[in-house]
Amino acid sequence: MSPKQYWSFNVKFVTLLLSIWAFVSFGCGMVFAPWLDQFKLIGTEYPLGFWFAQQGSIYVFVILIVTYVVVMNRVDKKYKGDSQ
Amino acid sequence: MNVQEWTFLLVAFTFALYIGVAIWSRAKSTGEFYVAGKHVSPLANGMATAADWMSAASFISMAGLIAFLGMDGSVYLMGWTGGYVLLALLIAPYLRKFGKFTVPDFIGDRYASQTARIVAVVCAIFISFTYIAGQMRGVGVVFSRFLEVDITLGVIIGMGIVFFYAVLGGMKGITYTQVVQYCVLIIAYTIPAFFLAFMVTGNPIPQLALGSTDEAGIGLLAKLDGMLSDLGFGAYTGYNQSMLNIVCITGALMLGTAGLPHVIIRFFTVKRVKDARSSAGWALLFIALLYTTAPAIAVFARTNMLNTVPGVAYANAPSWVHTWEESGLISYNDLNNDGIIDYAPDATNELIIDRDIMVLANPEIAGLPDWVVALVAAGGLAAALSTAAGLLLVISSAVSHDLVKRVFKPDISEKGELRFARIAAACAIICAGLLGIWPPDYVAAVVAFAFGLAAASFFPAIMLGIFWKRFNAAGAIVGMLVGILFTGSYIIYFKFMGGSQEDWLFGISPEGIGIIGMLLNFGIAVPVSILTKPPSEEIQQLVEDIRLPEVD
């Protein structure tokens, strides 16, 4: 893996994760929240938009960082292996 | 033992712990003083970052704020957590690879410009002092209410403790005390929440309890919505502000979080790039524990309050109403002289409750055991002190490292710089103490400043510096200045010079204007950079280098 490939993968991957980040918070937690509120989170009394705004988006944020850490650690290893 | 004895015991115990940790982790070099020798493990750094980040505002004020704002309070929840995704993906790993000590270090070296460095130093110091004022007020509130100590004495005791471990231990001392402080504050925050959740719903996990039903089988949130609409308030679970404003405030808080120097500086303290990434993950996980509990506490508190106070005769009001009335944070004004507490959204309202007391008073409101009440006091102090210490370090390193060492006296010895760092930390503590004893009455307003400025100045300068090789000093400086001037004057005009709400640009409140400042920064920095000379070969090489993981 060349430095160029490493970087372009990183940029694409970050873009993907940030689109999810924006969709969950600005989308589900804000803009679509009033519409989502007509549904309830399965098995609970949470209106769905409210859940995204005050609980769900935070869980998704944690998952996004964990995904980034795990994937990039693998890619780092590959990059280091190839450059030795 | 009564509440006060428990509080003395717990506060004294935690303070002794912090001092013990400080003695164990003294700093012997500037590297240890600024970045804890870059030896901190990701897990410890995650905890320290969480404690650093969660201030008196998060611990004491946030749940109360949400309790009264309802869905509108989501901007704080998403804003103050979402920024960590930006930090982990766009900033932390690269700045760690860059490998110096401070944010102005990066700005100054990346743009090879002393002007940029000094702009960054001024922003860092301003942002940090703004923030510290709030922490010291938090310390004062806790001391005066729970220990019945004079606020001034409370602030002096708090400052004394921070002085001890920040001046002695620098970042190393601060980091390890923050680890302990995180444990104290999260235990103090979640234990009352477990009790409350269990009492209200029979489910002890607050995050699940919030989405469940009470004993009568009615959804907790639906019930609260109903109670509020009976009193004439808007629904708890729906936004009551314009969506554009909600989006802008959340965005400004997210980008501000990612640009706050005391948070960024924590990622310099770990060993490798990969540790910087994973400590951002740990940090957000630890923060999420508190941030997902807060909305539950908010609902329990608001429901409890509505159940016990409105429509009750003042003489029969629960005892916490009277105790907090003494501290001036609750006031009751019997407008219609009927002796009954009327609570309403309009002019007939007779009860004014300071939002800050919700978390502190909650255990009392719910009648929890005395030691739980005391624990909350110790937790509030841990939150305030840990954040204050982190901010003090930014101020001290900005002065001793970025100004003295990098601008005025580059040939200063290691020992001399360390002495300067300690003196700067000591002076900063004294200033912060004075701000705590005589708090400017616009504390809340200036916090909008800290976030707005961080979003409008640091975030674009750091991000473009990493992701766009061609970005140069001219673009960065012009961008930062435009961002700061626009955001700063908007906030000053509407917060301090009496600008009226009708004149808000697109209806965006001063709290959210940082996002427009940031867009302006990007919008001007990019063309200016394209029209001027590209950065030197050396700088471009530096950028290439920070993008890649270290090969060891």
Residue B437, C-beta contacts closer than 8 angstroms, at least 6 positions apart: B136, B140, B151, B152, B155, B156
Handedness of CA B67, B201, B377, B180 (dihedral sign): negative
Q: For chain B, list the domains and their CATH numbers.
A: 3-547 (1.20.1730.10)
pLDDT at B156 over 70: yes
Q: Where are the alpha helices (DSSP H) in B260-404?
A: 261-264, 273-308, 319-326, 357-365, 370-397
Residue the block writes with tokens 């270290």: B550
Query: What residue numbers bound the domain in which A22 lies?
Result: 3-82
pLDDT at B301 over 70: yes
One-character DSSP codes across B380-420: HHHHHHHHHHHHHHHHHHIIIIIIIIIII-TT--HHHHHHH
Query: Mapping DSSP to helix (H, G, I), strand (E, B) and coil, where does residue B270 land?
Result: strand
CA-CA-CA-CA torsion for B136, B249, B522, B83, nearest 10 degrees? 60
Report the mean per-residue pLDDT for chain B: 84
Exposure pattern of B297-317 as b/e (b: 16+ CB <10 Å)? bbbbbbbbbbebbbebebeeb
pLDDT at B255 over 70: yes
Output the six-digit token pair for B145.
């209410």
Q: How far is A66 from chain B (nearest CA, A)?
A: 6
Pairwise CA distance, residues B502 & B518, whole Å: 23
Instruction: Please list the residues that pair with B331 across neighbouring strands.
Output: B352
Q: What is the pLDDT of residue B442?
A: 57
Residue the block writes with tokens 């969480």: B50
B244 contacts chain A (CB < 8 A)? no
Output the six-digit token pair for A18.
């940030």
Output the six-digit token pair for B460.
């674009």
Q: What is the pLDDT of residue B333?
A: 83
Q: How far is B477 from chain A (nearest CA, A)?
A: 25
> Mutate which of A65, A74, A76 to disrupt the B interface (most B C-beta within 10 Å)?
A65
Q: Does the distance separating the beta carbons of B84 and A65 come in below 8 Å?
A: yes
Residue the block writes with tokens 């743009």: B111
pLDDT: which is higher, B366 or B525: B525
pLDDT by residue (tens digit) across B58-71? 888 888 888 888 89
B491 contacts chain A (CB < 8 A)? no
Per DSSP, B30 falls in state: H
Q: How far is A11 from chain B (nearest CA, A)?
A: 9
* B175 burial level (CB within 10 Å; 0-12, 13-18, 19+): buried
Query: Mapping DSSP to helix (H, G, I), strand (E, B) and coil, where does residue B320 land?
Result: helix
Pairwise CA distance, residues A55 & B71, whole Å: 12
pLDDT at B448 over 70: no
Q: Number of folded domains in chain A? A: 1
Residues (pLDDT < 50) of chain A are none
Q: What is the pLDDT of residue B28?
A: 77
Residue the block writes with tokens 């231990």: B169
- With cut-offs at 50, 70 and 90, classify the pLDDT of residue B356: confident
Which of A32-46, B107-121, B311-325 shows the lowest mean pLDDT across its residues?
Answer: B311-325
